[in-house]
Structure 1
């Protein structure tokens, strides 16, 4: 992956707090999403756990 990733992981789960990530899939009923980190690791988490990366130009 090149460039800046559009989201930051906010929660302290699996040692990933503060790491940039990208949103792959967004769920509806349980407010969940699939995110991928720069090293290729993917996880299903709450959408409340991610926030926009302010360093990425709009």
Structure 2
């Protein structure tokens, strides 16, 4: 058993920290997914903007 704040960690403490770690991992996954989607969308908007400018330049 690990010692934390001058006392031994109990099984209950370990379960609580495991749940927090799982929640933290879920949040990280959600943030990564939303970040990737955001980058894809913003990259698409930028590409459309450049294409529109190029077409206007041609005309």
Which protein has the bigger strand share?
1
Tell me whether the two structures share a fold, i.e. TM-score over 0.5: no
- TM-score w.r.t. structure 1 length? 0.20
Q: Pick the structure with greater CA Rg.
A: 2
TM-score using structure 2 length: 0.19
Structure with higher RCO (Cα < 8 A, 6+ apart): 1
